[in-house]
């Protein structure tokens, strides 16, 4: 860890001194390499995470390549401002922070590494990245690809190890910023540690996001979105809409259609291209999910489909007749467990959707566009969808409010989180002094 921080510290000034367009060119080359090796990388991601190759072929590395490409293109257009002051003027310079630490979760190891590395590097920072110990391969592969693309040694470094390595990294005096993707409890610890050194932070944390389905929505689209919002990556997605609020009049039809669709899921070997639903990251996590399923049953919710499964496999699981106070409606499960809650009117849906400490994401399904925008405006969430769910194009800022985090990844907004402003006042005439 110390060697990585030293290498990053040594390499950063020369990297920052390059023209931004030259830094961007290296990132663009890395994106092209990723696209050329799509099949090999998808397989690696599946071996690392257990996610179906159907998903890793389209979501993980491809999204990472999108980020590298996007920030490569943005590199040359980041500028400061000129501030006219009459005779004098001022200007601002957007400077790199220095050495940035990235710490990742295990659900999207290569995507997380790319989402953090791309804006950090393009702004002239160096990075030391610690992936989750569950998924050590993706970040290493990214380092290899960036090196092949021409990144100078020391600019992007990977350290392996559990949380203690991450904690040591944040406390290293050479680290100017930490960007974490992880759970809320880890986020609190990392934020507190970063505060000691007055370090910048980006926190991408957990959620218990609402997906609100009004009775005028297209039922099939809403069911498809609920599936995408809960069962992709076996439910191990921070932004999942795990509290599905369905307007009472369509609740039975919604549940019937959902159960039919879930019965068709192909669960199994993630390397089989026909597999749609893979295992949980490890058996310990699967047991935590099973405990949540058991709590749902013990508290009286109705199991519509799915259940505890076996070993690392847990099928798409849906609970109905749940209430907001139940564990399955309150806590992030980080597994394929959807809780369907019914509501009567718009005001009630908004109040109940917001009654959580989390605020990562939210979705609304309705044919009434006026209502869609009104409801989204009232929801306390950083990343929202109308008649869609869990789509995260790199052009759109991604992140949460409340306990789900701060700062934003992706889009031009991420540039601000990997740079700082220097203000320069320029005196153009004689200096007036009182005595
Ligand atoms: P954790 O919070 O357990 O771990 C996240 C990372 O932090 C891991 O690399 C972990 O190391 C490391 N870590 C743990 N403790 C510390 C510490 N004290 N100091 C520094 N680093 C530490 O999350 P999971 O890996 O279990 O991922 C699941 C969680 O991540 C869920 O809550 C999910 O919602 C959230 N998440 C959020 C996303 C978002 O963008 N908002 C996206 C994806 C996931 P190790 O595990 O190797 O010990």
Ligand 1 centre to CA of 285 (Å) is: 13
Ligand 1 centre to CA of 183 (Å) is: 5
Q: Is the C-beta atom of 288 inside 6 A of ligand 1?
A: no
Catalytic residues: 116, 204, 238, 409
Q: Is the C-beta atom of 206 inside 6 A of ligand 1?
A: yes
Alpha helices of 57-171 — where are they, by DSSP H?
Answer: 60-74, 109-122, 137-148, 163-171
Q: Is the C-beta atom of 167 inside 6 A of ligand 1?
A: yes
pLDDT of residue 96: 98
Residues pairing with 286 in the sheet: none
In 182-335, beta strands by DSSP E: 200-204, 210-213, 243-247, 302-305, 317-320
pLDDT of residue 388: 98
Q: Is the C-beta atom of 332 inside 6 A of ligand 1?
A: yes
pLDDT of residue 79: 96
Pocket probe for ligand 1: among 50, 101, 105, 405, the residue whose CB has the most ligand atoms within 8 Å is 105
Q: Which residues of the chain register pLDDT less than 70?
A: none
pLDDT of residue 295: 98
Q: Is the C-beta atom of 171 inside 6 A of ligand 1?
A: no
CA distance 154 to 265: 45
User: Which residue, by CA, sits nearest to atom 12 of ligand 1?
Assistant: 163
User: Which residue, by CA, sits nearest to atom 19 of ligand 1?
Assistant: 167
User: For residue 106, what are its two tokens?
Assistant: 């295990």
pLDDT of residue 415: 97
Contacts 24+ apart (CB under 8 A), 37-46: 37/145, 38/62, 41/110, 41/141, 43/271, 44/137, 44/138, 44/141, 45/109, 45/110, 45/138, 46/270, 46/271, 46/278
Ligand 1 centre to CA of 372 (Å) is: 33
Determine the 3-state secondary structure of 78 from DSSP. Answer: coil
Q: How far is CA 165 from CA 20, 56, 151, 159, 170, in A?
A: 31, 27, 25, 8, 9
Contact criterion met (CB below 8 Å) for 306 and 317? yes
Q: What's the predicted TM-score (pTM) here?
A: 0.97
Residues pairing with 320 in the sheet: 302
Q: Which residues have C-beta within 8 Å of that of residue 77, sequence separation ≥ 6?
A: none
pLDDT of residue 242: 98
Q: How many helices (H) and strands (E) does the chain have?
A: 16, 16
Q: Is the C-beta atom of 204 inside 6 A of ligand 1?
A: yes
Taking 3-state DSSP, the helix, strand and coil percentages for the chain, each rounded to the nearest 5, stand at 45, 20, 35
Regarding beta strands 243-247 and 210-213, do their DSSP bridges make them parallel or antiparallel, or are they unpaired? parallel
pLDDT of residue 184: 97
Ligand 1 centre to CA of 338 (Å) is: 22
CA distance 310 to 305: 15
Ligand 1 centre to CA of 327 (Å) is: 21
pLDDT of residue 20: 98
Q: Is the C-beta atom of 412 inside 6 A of ligand 1?
A: no
Q: Is the C-beta atom of 133 inside 6 A of ligand 1?
A: yes
Please, what is the Cα angle at 152 between 149 and 156, to 5 degrees?
85
User: For residue 303, what are its two tokens?
Assistant: 């199991």
Contact criterion met (CB below 8 Å) for 358 and 332? yes
Pocket probe for ligand 1: among 102, 158, 163, 400, the residue whose CB has the most ligand atoms within 8 Å is 163
CA distance 386 to 212: 10
CA distance 387 to 336: 21
Ligand 1 centre to CA of 158 (Å) is: 16
Q: Is the C-beta atom of 205 inside 6 A of ligand 1?
A: yes
Which atom of ligand 1 is nearest the CA belonging to 186? 2
């Amino acid at each position: 860890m110390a060697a990585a921080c030293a290498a990053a510290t040594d390499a950063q000034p020369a990297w920052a001194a390059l023209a931004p367009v030259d830094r961007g060119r290296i990132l663009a080359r890395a994106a092209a390499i990723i696209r050329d090796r799509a099949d090999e990388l998808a397989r690696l991601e599946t071996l690392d995470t257990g996610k179906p190759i159907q998903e890793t072929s389209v979501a993980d590395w491809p999204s990472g390549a999108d980020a590298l490409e996007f920030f490569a293109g943005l590199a040359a257009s980041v500028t400061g401002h000129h501030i006219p002051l009459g005779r004098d003027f001022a200007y601002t310079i957007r400077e790199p922070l220095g050495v940035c630490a990235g710490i990742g979760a295990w659900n999207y190891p290569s995507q997380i590494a790319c989402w953090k590395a791309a804006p950090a590097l393009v702004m002239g920072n160096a990075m030391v990245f610690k992936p989750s110990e569950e998924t050590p391969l993706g970040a290493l592969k990214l380092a290899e690809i960036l090196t092949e693309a021409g990144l100078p040694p020391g600019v992007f470094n990977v350290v392996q190890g559990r949380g203690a390595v991450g904690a040591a990294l944040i406390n290293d005096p050479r680290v100017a910023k930490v960007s974490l993707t992880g759970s809320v409890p880890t986020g609190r610890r990392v934020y507190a540690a970063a505060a000691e050194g007055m370090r910048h932070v980006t926190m991408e944390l957990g959620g218990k996001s609402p997906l609100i389905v009004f009775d005028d929505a297209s039922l099939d689209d809403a069911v498809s979105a609920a599936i995408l919002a809960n069962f992709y990556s076996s439910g191990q997605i921070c932004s999942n809409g795990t509290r599905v609020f369905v307007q009472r009049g369509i609740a039975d039809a919604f549940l019937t259609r959902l159960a039919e669709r879930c019965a068709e899921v192909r669960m199994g070997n993630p390397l089989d291209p026909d597999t749609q639903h893979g295992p949980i990251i490890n058996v310990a996590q699967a047991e935590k999910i099973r405990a949540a399923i058991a709590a749902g049953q013990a508290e009286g919710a109705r199991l519509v489909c799915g259940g505890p499964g076996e070993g690392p496999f847990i099928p798409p699981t849906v609970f109905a007749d749940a209430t907001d106070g139940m564990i399955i409606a309150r806590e992030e499960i980080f597994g394929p467990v959807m809780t369907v809650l019914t509501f009567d009117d718009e005001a009630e849906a908004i109040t109940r959707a917001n009654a959580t400490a989390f605020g990562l994401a939210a979705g609304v399904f309705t044919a009434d566009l006026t209502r869609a925008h009104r409801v989204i405006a009232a929801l306390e969430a950083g990343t929202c969808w109308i008649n869609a769910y869990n789509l995260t194009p790199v052009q759109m800022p991604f992140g949460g409010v409340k306990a789900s985090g701060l700062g934003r990844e992706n889009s031009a907004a991420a540039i601000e989180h990997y740079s700082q402003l220097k203000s320069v006042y320029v005196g153009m005439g004689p200096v007036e002094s009182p005595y």
